[in-house]
Amino acid sequence: MELDYTCGNDLRGLCAKGCGHDQCQLNVHDYLADLPDNQAVTDLVEVQFKNTRKGFYRNDNHLPLQKGDRVAVEASPGHDIGIVTMTGRLVALQMKKAYLKPGEEIKRIYRVARPVDMEKYREAKAREHNTMIQARQAAKDLGLEMKIGDVEFQGDGNKAIFYYIAEGRVDFRELIKVLAELFHVRIEMRQIGVRQEAGRIGGFGPCGRQLCCSTFIRSFQSVGTAAARFQDISLNPQKLAGQCAKLKCCMNYEVDQYIEAGRRLPSREISLETMDGEYYFFKADILSNMVTYSTDRRIAANLTTIPARRALDIIEMNRRGEKPVTLEEEGKLVENAPVDLAAQDDLHRFDKQKKRKKKNNNRERRRNEEKKPRHNDGA
């Protein structure tokens, strides 16, 4: 039995109008799509093209558009084909997020894509890969220090956008002439960074999920090694770098929480003095607010883990010239740590059973051999 996931059917208040479409990059759930007057609020529509390129258009013809519809939009020159990703109230919020320039002209939507439009669109898209290979060879022949990472044809095939990566400025005027003679289309060159290239190509990260740059990140923030230091992450370039060979964007997600939690920890340079001896900072669990101290400055010796509040109290006592008996609070029971149920079982428990069975089989075989009568032929 197939369910019709539309707002017209009774699905206990659930609506699928705002759900995702066939392109997952930068997809946004339009949770207001099922409101009756949603499209009447504004005629602005968000349209997505290949990979991470989006645009905002006016629905002057008042077409009944829904998320996932293929539409023909105004371009310069001709028209382009895109997918409707959002309509109604949330479009204005997305425009603020996109930082559009004031007074920028907003183009309009012509029509819902016809079969003829889709045929031209597929023909143009089929040319993109071969065009990219030929453009790379042309740039190499001209000796240009640039890498053409992707090519995007307009829906009507009259224009092509070449996305390239370069460390510095590149004089590609001669390249544009060569490409125009090769492909007989209008050429537009756009420089992008390595993070944007990774977002256009897509892929999966070590976390098992799709790359953030290809799903929801539109504006890239700089990531430094200080974010790794605040989170006590090992400064291993192979683990810190993403598929774009730059530091992973996800390192910025929780750094503010780690910085705030780190302010409640004692300084690493201050040692604790007790009646038992002097203790030196060894490591800290930032989020759980626990600190581990060692009796040796260089190696792990007699490690003792205490709350950060207890360490700060001891530091204050040392400043007053007082020393506690031990690091742990006197007369306070240590709370039992949570038990890991998975750690209770031995990973090799099945191997031990197999060995035990094998030993029992060997013993049984020996007993059977001893019970067998022996024949002395030479008697």
Q: What tens digit of pLDDT does each residue of 227-245 get?
A: 998 998 888 888 899 888 8
Assess contact for 67 and 47: CB atoms under 8 A: no
- The 10s digit of each residue's pLDDT in 102-133 is 677 889 999 999 999 999 999 999 999 999 99
- The mean pLDDT value for 342-348 works out to 60
**Residue that the structure tokens 């017209």 belong to:** 8
Q: What pLDDT does 377 receive?
A: 52
**Beta carbons within 8 Å of 194's beta carbon, 6+ residues apart:** 165, 244, 245, 246
Model confidence at 210, in pLDDT bands (50, 70, 90)?
confident
In this model, does residue 27 exceed pLDDT 80?
A: no
Q: How far apart are CA 152 and CA 185, in angstroms?
A: 12
Q: What pLDDT does 333 receive?
A: 46
**Residue that the structure tokens 């084909």 belong to:** 81
- The 10s digit of each residue's pLDDT in 156-189 is 889 999 999 998 888 889 999 999 999 999 999 9
Q: What pLDDT does 12 receive?
A: 39
CATH fold label, 123-196: GMP Synthetase; Chain A, domain 3 (3.30.300)
In this model, does residue 51 exceed pLDDT 50?
A: yes
Assess contact for 301 and 307: CB atoms under 8 A: no
**Beta carbons within 8 Å of 83's beta carbon, 6+ residues apart:** 21, 22, 23, 47, 48, 49, 68, 69, 70, 71
- The mean pLDDT value for 285-298 works out to 90
Give the DSSP letter string of 144-200: -S-EEEEEEE-TTSSEEEEEEE-SS----HHHHHHHHHHH-SEEEEEE--HHHHHHH
Residue 82 gets which letter from DSSP?
E
Structure tokens at 248: 């992973």
In this model, does residue 8 exceed pLDDT 50?
A: no
Question: What whole-number percentage of the chain has pLDDT above 90?
Answer: 34
Instruction: Single out the residue of 146, 88, 156, 101 nearest to residue 123, CA to CA.
Output: 156
**Residue that the structure tokens 């998975």 belong to:** 342
Q: Report pTM.
A: 0.65
Cross-sheet strand order for the sheet of 44-48:
54-58, 44-48, 79-87, 70-74, 109-112
- Cβ–Cβ contacts within 10 Å for residue 361, how many? 10
Helix (H, G, I), strand (E, B) or coil at 370: helix
Q: What pLDDT does 339 receive?
A: 58
**CATH 3.30.300.20, the chain: domain bounds:** 123-196
When comparing pLDDT for 332 and 103, which is higher? 103
State the average pLDDT for the chain.
81
145-171 per-residue burial string, b: 16 or more CB within 10 A, e: under 16 = ebebbbbbbbbbbbbbbbbbbeeeebe
Phi-psi region of 199 (alpha: psi -120 to 50; beta: other; left: phi over 0): alpha
320-353 per-residue burial string, b: 16 or more CB within 10 A, e: under 16 = eeeebeebeeeeeeeeeeeeeeeeeeeeeeeeee
Q: What pLDDT does 330 receive?
A: 65
Structure tokens at 160: 């092509």
Q: Rg of the chain over CA atoms, in angstroms?
A: 33
Q: What pLDDT does 354 receive?
A: 55
Q: What pLDDT does 3 receive?
A: 34
CA distances, 202 to each of 195, 199, 244, 246, 263 (Å)? 10, 5, 10, 15, 37
* Kind of pairing between the strands at 290-294 and 304-307: antiparallel
Q: How far apart are CA 143 and CA 146, in angstroms?
A: 9
